[in-house]
Structure 1
Amino acid sequence: MATTPTLSLGSSIPVPSIKELLAQPLAAVPLRYLRDVDGDFPTAAGDSSVQVPLLDMAKLVEPQYQEIELRKLHDACKNWGIFQLIGHGVPDESQKVMHKKSQEFFELSPEDKKRYAQKPGSLEGYGQAFVISEDQKLEWCDMIFLKAIPTHTRKLEFWPKEQPHNFREALHVYSHDMRKTAVSIIGFITMALGLDSKDFHEAFEGGNYDVRMNCYPPCPEPERVIGISSHADISGITLLTDCGDIPGLQVLKDGRWVFVEPIAHGIVVNIGIIMEVVSNGVYKAPYHRAAVNRHKDRFSIVTFCYPTKKFDIKPAKELINSGSLPLYKSFTNDEYFQSFYERTKLSDDGVPFIDTLKL
């Protein structure tokens, strides 16, 4: 979940970091983190009987494979809304260095991390997102959230400087590598939809890229907490890399939660609500969440990819002109984000954000 430069998002109430809670022996999880057991809670073991689709971008760019691979991409976006991507062109070294710097950040002392803590009126920095009340259930996750692209949107007071060493340089390289991949995969996604990809290429080339680094510390009762609650992303697409081989990301598929098993150097791509609207509902923004582990830390880096502010959020005209009725309203970029952030200030009314966008 990410911000746009022009909106005032209110405050996220400061809460203890999980790392700090665990600094003292913790025999039981504090009540505020415990969730009611509903028979469908995260566990630390994946289900290998169902696999998230795997796409190879190296084949998508090859003319002899492209038609077949575009069909695979279309099926993945339509039936899953999420897929694993290899052959994406992001250098292994770029991922390796950024993963290392992310982990090093969370291993800093509490005092050093608090130098980059969120400030009132901003979600950027170190803390938790969208904590709006003192009795709200909390997630078992520490995070740092940073605007990365365009570079003029960066608030460097939240970017670690001295420690970890070269953190800023690593994130600069990583975010530009991820943008390049996002622009490419958006082009193929729109091709799979039968749309002219030129406008989308330009919209995401000049778009906003926000990065969230997550740390999920070990939990003595992993079956009774949630790392990140079930949600669909408001982005165009979201790119996730796991900083290790510990499964944690789960996606809701046909009413059951499926683990997305980490692939070395792979990128998990999921459709965001913006692309669900653009596709007029052909592609779905999947609900996903994060489980935690009893024994080990899990780290991940999430890049939220948004089109330029000039891009209106509405069903693509080619899909409507072909005879389909529009299923979603049309919004300017600002209207779309304002609608989302206004809802975060309210108590949960049980209505998914995507449903508020429908005609």
Structure 2
Amino acid sequence: MENFPVINLEKLNGEEKGATMEKIKDACENWGFFELLNHGISHELMDAVERLTKEHYKKCLEQRFKQLMASKGLEGVQAEVHDMDWESTFHLRHLPYSNISEIPDLQDDYRKIMKEFAVKLEKLAEELLELLDENLGLEKGYLKKALCGSKGPSFGTKVSNYPPCPKPELIEGLRAHTDAGGIILLFQDDKVSGLQLLKDGHWIDVPPMRHSIVINLGDQLEVITNGKYKSVLHRVIAQTDGNRMSIASFYNPGSDAVIYPAPALVEKEGDDEEKNHVYPKFVFDDYMKLYAGLKFQAKEPRFEAMRGATSGLGPIATA
């Protein structure tokens, strides 16, 4: 199997810029995932986020998780479980407004560091979107603007822990799915693995690397690029030992953003039917309502459902 794409962002500043942009392009077109090194977020900040996240889980969430799993009878599970995940999670919202001050049990230093981390990740997300603009031949700022609703983009973080699981062959840490939104930035454990993506019919490990940020593309970027870039199925495998930390931040469209293929990426009508396939036009919030119940199912029927549900938004222009 080919090597998982790892991209050193520092190389954009020198004579290797062209080769690095090509590597990003290939990762977007053929993987839907890549891993960033030298991304501009300090190791000190990442170490503080990791330490405080793991301390918070131990102090506030570990016992609660064990009780929940026991109450559902999952610790002694004998048959495969298809409707549940072996994960402990909580969610933070950053944009259009923050809810960090409202989340119970968070210590003040943890709140402060997560706010600081979110600001850095938001900046990195917008830098990456500009690189994708360039690779796609779109005007600078196109993708960011496409994700903005009337109040700007949505941005939030899912903080997850995947504790040791007694029967990892019977229950997954997180079932296979594609992400609904725009661009996803993941700070994952560098010691305990488990994240996998589906490529060419095979599950490939996303390698744990210290101080890296893993990037993956969501359903909305597939629509905006008219399928040039694709969101990719991924899952988390439960492990018998080790507690895997996962901090996934989602740079998504604003709830009222109208999502549709970039006209520059829609071929004029011609003979090539595959090239002429155009993704639907819809309001992001409508897609999320549909996604909520169908997250762990194939994405293609979701796109088709949106085609029928929002036909009143008008035609999509072609280049």
Per the normalisation by structure 2, the TM-score is: 0.80
Q: How far did residue 113 of structure 1 move?
A: 6.5
Q: Could you tell which deviates more after superposition, 104-113 or 273-282?
A: 104-113
Count of matched residue positions in the alignment of Structure 1 and Structure 2: 283
Q: How far did residue 148 of structure 1 move?
A: 2.0
Structure 1, unmatched stretches of 5+, are 1-48, 118-134
Q: Please give the alpha-carbon distance, in whole angstroms, between the structure 2 residues aligned to 1:339 and 1:74.
A: 30
Structure 2, unmatched stretches of 5+, are 69-80, 270-274, 308-319
Q: How far did residue 343 of structure 1 move?
A: 4.3
* Structure 1 residues 80 and 301: CA distance shift in structure 2, 3 A: same
CA displacement, residues 36-69 of structure 1 (integer Å, 9 cap, x when unaligned): xxxxxxxxxxxxx553111122223x26333222
1:97 aligned residue: 48
Q: How does 1:56-95 map to 2 (within 5 A)?
A: 56-60=8-12, 62=13, 64-95=15-46
CA displacement, residues 221-263 of structure 1 (integer Å, 9 cap, x when unaligned): 2222200000000110111111332111000011111111111
One-letter code aligned to 1:55: I
Pick one of 179, 188, 192 that aligns with 1:246.
192
Secondary structure in 2 matching 1:357: helix
Secondary structure in 1 matching 2:15: helix
1:31 aligned residue: none
Q: Could you tell which deviates more after superposition, 77-86 or 334-343?
A: 334-343
Q: Please give the alpha-carbon distance, in whole angstroms, between the structure 2 residues aligned to 1:259 and 1:111.
A: 26
Q: How far did residue 112 of structure 1 move?
A: 9.2
What is the percentage of aligned positions where both structures have the same residue?
Answer: 28
* Structure 1 residues 91 and 320: CA distance shift in structure 2, 3 A: same
- Contact 1:183-1:204 within 8 A present in 2 as well: no
Q: Please give the alpha-carbon distance, in whole angstroms, between the structure 1 residues aligned to 2:167 and 2:293.
A: 34
- Contact 1:274-1:313 within 8 A present in 2 as well: yes
Q: How far did residue 111 of structure 1 move?
A: 9.9
2:74 aligned residue: none
2:128 aligned residue: 185
Q: Please give the alpha-carbon distance, in whole angstroms, between the structure 2 residues aligned to 1:309 and 1:209.
A: 11
2:141 aligned residue: 198
1:160 aligned residue: 105
* Structure 1 residues 160 and 326: CA distance shift in structure 2, 3 A: farther
Per the normalisation by structure 1, the TM-score is: 0.72
CA displacement, residues 280-337 of structure 1 (integer Å, 9 cap, x when unaligned): 1111101000012212111111111113345421111111256652421101233332
Q: Please give the alpha-carbon distance, in whole angstroms, between the structure 2 residues aligned to 1:108 and 1:148.
A: 24
Q: How does 1:79-228 map to 2 (within 5 A)?
A: 79-109=30-60, 137-150=83-96, 152-154=97-99, 156-161=101-106, 163=107, 165-202=108-145, 206-228=152-174
Secondary structure in 2 matching 1:64: coil
Taking CA–CA contacts closer than 8 Å with sequence separation of 6 or more, which of the two structures ends up with the larger relative contact order?
Answer: 1
- Contact 2:223-2:259 within 8 A present in 1 as well: yes
User: Does structure 1 residue 318 correspond to structure 2 residue 290?
Assistant: no
Secondary structure in 1 matching 2:91: strand
One-letter code aligned to 1:285: S
1:290 aligned residue: 236
- Contact 1:313-1:336 within 8 A present in 2 as well: no
